[in-house]
Chain A
């Protein structure tokens, strides 16, 4: 009997439609659907999180190299013989810096090599030098150690972005050179080098001859304070190997280097598929091992305007342009948007006209932003003749775009203020305007601010409409006012992404990162406002 009672629907109890087998199956099915839905939801969230992580990690890893810049310290001769203190502007500072650099490599003699060597330092060196001298005339009249920014290719190589370079390995046999410079022969004590060259893509010729073309890895042998680049190898007598090579850095003697005295450096990326030659690599390595190169925080990137030279390009101009544009946008969109929302929500009679206006405002929020750009071009530039590329026009166009967002958000938060507050104020004789401005608006303000900030963040990331009004122009100067030509962050990113120089790749990512930081800050403020002032009735 106890068994019968213990289960529902068993003997002694009427079977209910909620306890029979079909009901149990239904219940089970419901739980199964619930579990499925839960897992689907979790999977969707996980996938979204994964994509976000992928996006952020890609941008961050790409951007990090751009945060630092390599500087080369050179002894710059600023004696009166080179720089006339009376005519500071007439001096060719670039030439002075280049002289200091070529002096470091006395055996670089050919025109072509010299040009290559001069290219190691940034073309902006002269400008920096002139500015610093103007700021500190005490530098004049002597030789000063001055750090100049490296050219973008040199900089990228030192960051490890242009070529895969293996570490120096000691050669466990003797190396004997035939000469100290030019094309020389090197004799290795054993044949190990042959196998190594084969492993690195050397092409086999007759009689076991191995040729290292520009399509193979570069093998550099450093000894006797010089560097030789191997071009071909062949087996020698008594199990030795003979290599032909080009001296990149002169050796100091033809004395044989004992086992462990010579070092082999392998540059895995073939010379043909990288934008930096073996020569330049050797020069940079020499300068680096001499302790003349240091990596510094890239203040150029953060605090200068745009440039066609990657190492000289900065975001500050775009940041200032964005800031000026946002000020104009806020100054126009916020008061107009909030006023419109207050009128429509609190004062406007509910008739056909206001309904049409409402519907159109909602539709405006869905208009593609480039249409606003066209409108700005046609009305602000062509009809009113406002200046092209100026933050004032950009701000006006973005304000048009932000207006519906602010109006909709403001109306929503005005509507969220409970009617009991309005009744309370009206009930003690407050006028409509007093009710709205003393009670309703302050309570709606956090919501309005949140909506405004989100609208502004939206505007900050907008590119298309500003292309139409010419804010895509290449502008080097930092804009000083609302009517100066300027560009903005997203447009700057757009332009940099378009530039072919390898150095801009990192700058693009870093600029995206800066834009994201601003957006995150704005969104965080919106969230904090909402949390801080959220009120429950």
Chain B
């Protein structure tokens, strides 16, 4: 199948000069789950300090691609990844790369809020502690506070830092998970449908947060919501049946997509 039209490749190359630099790069990324192939030769770049949205119908491979970026697919026994993914031109699947270090650099926020059943403080402090990022209790307190502030949660929880993180509301839990990811000072944050379990108000809150975080982090977000992709992302990639259909600036993707499938999906004709 034709993965990308000639035109889109040319366009991408031509606009490349004034675009931010490439943070992560996927080349011919394929994933097999046992015998079943889930991803077919995906080439996709993630640019620094931008939000890249991955859209597409269920089972199209967008989450699979996202999980390749910090090697979370390693935890699935039958998953096999081929192709090349680089972070700052380093191959993340190189045997010399330490997966622990990679995941500290490429953080992740999951679909369902999954705070540890520990205190709010412990949730945020856990990452810095295992990576040895704080040399003193005061420093750790500082990291926790600044992470919660960046995640826009500090004012809501400052009086109950020692209460359980699972006692928060869904939206707060998801922001706690974002704070937990930020606390490790990652370079890239991967978000796998972070708002799918949240109500519209909590969603708006998280989207706002994503927009703020873009200043300091590179973000890749998988979403089912077209509106969300349009609101928060600068670039959008459309997946279908394991293929990357089209990739480009969000404005263009939503107004004048090259591929008919993208247009059909965006306008709600399938998916």
Contact = CB atoms under 8 A, between A and B. Distances in A.
Contacts of B184: 428-429
B150 interface: no
A421 B104 CA distance: 17
A420 B192 CA distance: 12
B23 interface: no
Contact of A428 (B75, B77, B101, B127): B127
A130 interface: no
Contacts of B116: 421, 424-425, 439
Interface in B78-128: 100-104, 107-110, 112, 114-117, 126-127
B180 interface: yes
A288 interface: no
Q: Chain A's interface: helix, strand, loop or mixed, by majority? A: helix
A430 B100 contact: yes
A338 interface: no
A429 B72 contact: no
Interface in A484-522: none
Nearest to B78: A350
B100 A424 contact: no
A349 interface: yes
Contacts of B102: 429
Contact of B75 (A422, A429, A431): A422
A429 B130 contact: yes
Interface residues of B, number: 27
A418 B116 CA distance: 11
Interface string A412-433: 0000001011111111111100
A168 to B, nearest CB: 73
Contact of A424 (B77, B114, B130): B114
B110 A429 contact: no
Contacts of B183: 428
A438 interface: yes
A517 B181 CA distance: 51
A443 interface: yes
Given A349-B77, A438-B126, A535-B117, A424 B177 contact: yes
Contacts of A424: 110, 114-116, 177, 180
Contacts of B172: none
A428 B102 CA distance: 9
Contacts of B110: 420, 423-424, 427
Interface of A: 349-350, 418, 420-431, 434, 438-439, 443, 535
Interface of B: 70, 72, 75, 77, 100-104, 107-110, 112, 114-117, 126-127, 130-131, 177, 180-181, 183-184
25 contacts: A420-B110, A421-B116, A423-B72, A424-B115, A425-B116, A425-B126, A426-B72, A426-B75, A427-B103, A427-B107, A428-B104, A428-B107, A428-B108, A428-B130, A428-B180, A428-B181, A428-B183, A429-B102, A429-B131, A429-B184, A434-B130, A438-B126, A438-B130, A439-B116, A443-B117
